Amino acid sequence: MSRLHCLIMLWVLSTFLIVSQAAAEDLVVSSDFPGGSAEVVKIDQNQRTILVRPAGDPQFGWPCWWYFQVTGITLGEELTVTVDASQMKQANGLKLSAAWALPEQAAFSSDQRLWSQTGPGKKQGETCVWNVKPEAKVVWFAWGPPFVPADAEESVKTLSQKHANVTAFELCKTRAGRSVPALVVSPVGEKDESRMVIWVQARQHAWESGGSWVGRGFIEWAVSDHPQAIALREKADIYYVPIMDIDNVATGNGGKNQVPHDHNRDWSEHPRWNAVQSAMKSLKALDESERLVLFVDLHNPGANSKQPYFYIAPPELDTQRRKALQDAFIAVCRQEMQEPFKLDQSTPSTGPKYDKRWKEISSNWVRSVTREYVVGITLETCWNTPHSTPAGYRTVGQQLGRGIARYLEQDPRSSPAPD
């Protein structure tokens, strides 16, 4: 090839690159939507890199949640997304560990409905970098798969319209005036006071979005045609609340350790949060009618947890009968929870050494004020794994449902006290 030809080809290539760069739209980052949270630190339009920080207000909980939209993407291009978690503070001014905000794999979506994981990110001190090639011009990125108030409303509405035995109801209005959707699964027209009741709820800590996905998997299984689900519905009513702290979910705040305390430290004689107050009132009435047998609170744990586990009753709230029933419930769940997550053998307790407000934690309140045969328990499902996706979470929810169905094959209310 002659020198002239080489010069012509170099000129054509350089012209193409200049035109391509000129044609590329500017990247724009926004978090102005329900659940959004991001402080834009820097956007390099030439390098196609984005640097953000979580933007939650520490007064409304740990600011570890982030969720933002990117527009102006050129199809096929590679974006570099960096989250800087070095500036996170708690409400008391103390530093919050960056680990809470930096998953190994982030979530992304082109429609806010179907969520995938990025490849593993590269940790650089208190930041993490993910490289992504989106197949859309608009993409949303998040700490984990979001589940916002609209998702809760849609889920409750869809299930109530599809199934005659599902009734949607409003648990309460929040302090900010938002509706807290809930549902009950119960035979229409029947008033059988002998039926057992189970109560499942999620998201007392707003940032723990995986809890709502586990809950969705559970409730969709519970209303399904699976033989165990049918058998469960024949003997028990099911109450389900997909999001308890709906205000902080809506505003993109973390919720945990908010001022003066979070929802899961509010189960007291004078609850501050309306959702807690309404749940306590309903649970107390169900216990007084001798129908409540099981309460399950759904959470996500710390970054280093790689298997789901249950928080159990501390010895201060245990009796022989309560412990035997709790052990029986965990045993059947352990048999069901195998893939993609295997239930951890460890069962830590939420006693005085866990938190100074340990008596005001929901499952501890349930254990302390209800009858001895009522199991109150917290399920923590790991968020920092390749299976911490909507599909993985929903599978855990289905397995929880099968565990509940197996546990309630025998009515715990008639179980004898251990010798």
Q: Which pLDDT tens digit goes with each residue over 281-298?
A: 999 999 999 999 999 999
The mean pLDDT value for 219-230 works out to: 98
Give the pLDDT confidence score for residue 17 in this predicted structure: 44
- Split into its structural domains, the chain has a count of 2
Domain assignment of residue 342, given as a range: 149-414
Check whether residue 106 and residue 206 sit in a common domain: no
Q: Which pLDDT tens digit goes with each residue over 325-352?
A: 999 999 999 999 999 999 999 999 999 9
SS3 10: helix
CB 245 within 8 A of CB 206: yes
Check whether residue 118 and residue 190 sit in a common domain: no
Give the pLDDT confidence score for residue 193 in this predicted structure: 82
CATH number at residue 46: 2.60.40.3120
User: Quick one: pLDDT band at residue 18, thresholds 50, 70, 90?
Assistant: very low
CB 222 within 8 A of CB 235: no
Last residue of a domain, one of 142, 167, 184: 142
Check whether residue 132 and residue 207 sit in a common domain: no
Check whether residue 329 and residue 402 sit in a common domain: yes
User: Quick one: pLDDT band at residue 192, thresholds 50, 70, 90?
Assistant: confident
Check whether residue 79 and residue 195 sit in a common domain: no
Check whether residue 279 and residue 327 sit in a common domain: yes
CA 287, distance to chain mean position in Å, is 27
Check whether residue 227 and residue 108 sit in a common domain: no
SS3 282: helix
Pair type for strands 79-84 and 236-241: unpaired
Q: Which pLDDT tens digit goes with each residue over 230-250?
A: 999 999 999 999 999 999 999
Give the pLDDT confidence score for residue 419 in this predicted structure: 62
What whole-number distance in Å separates Cα of residue 419 and Cα of residue 417?
Answer: 6
Q: Which pLDDT tens digit goes with each residue over 116-137?
A: 999 999 999 999 999 999 999 9
Check whether residue 132 and residue 153 sit in a common domain: no
Give the pLDDT confidence score for residue 22 in this predicted structure: 45
The mean pLDDT value for 307-322 works out to: 95
> Which residues of 93-219 form beta strands (DSSP E)?
107-109, 116-117, 122-124, 127-132, 139-142, 166-173, 179-185, 196-202
Check whether residue 262 and residue 401 sit in a common domain: yes
Q: Which long-range contacts (CB under 8 A, 24 or more apart) does 168-175 make?
A: 171/241, 171/275, 171/278, 171/279, 171/282, 172/274, 172/275, 172/277, 172/278, 173/274, 174/246, 174/247, 174/273, 174/274, 174/275, 175/247, 175/273, 175/274
Q: Which pLDDT tens digit goes with each residue over 357-389?
A: 999 999 999 999 999 999 999 999 999 999 999
Last residue of a domain, one of 85, 115, 142: 142
Last residue of a domain, one of 116, 142, 168: 142
Q: Which pLDDT tens digit goes with each residue over 210-219?
A: 999 999 999 9
The mean pLDDT value for 89-115 works out to: 97
Check whether residue 154 and residue 128 sit in a common domain: no
Q: Which pLDDT tens digit goes with each residue over 386-418?
A: 999 999 999 999 999 999 999 999 999 998 877
Give the pLDDT confidence score for residue 115 in this predicted structure: 98
Check whether 21 has a pLDDT greater than 60. Answer: no
- Which contiguous run of DSSP H or E holds residue 81? strand 79-84
Give the pLDDT confidence score for residue 4 in this predicted structure: 53
Give the pLDDT confidence score for residue 415 in this predicted structure: 81
Check whether residue 124 and residue 259 sit in a common domain: no
- CA-based end-to-end distance of the chain: 95
Residue 18: inside a domain, yes or no?
A: no
Check whether residue 292 and residue 410 sit in a common domain: yes
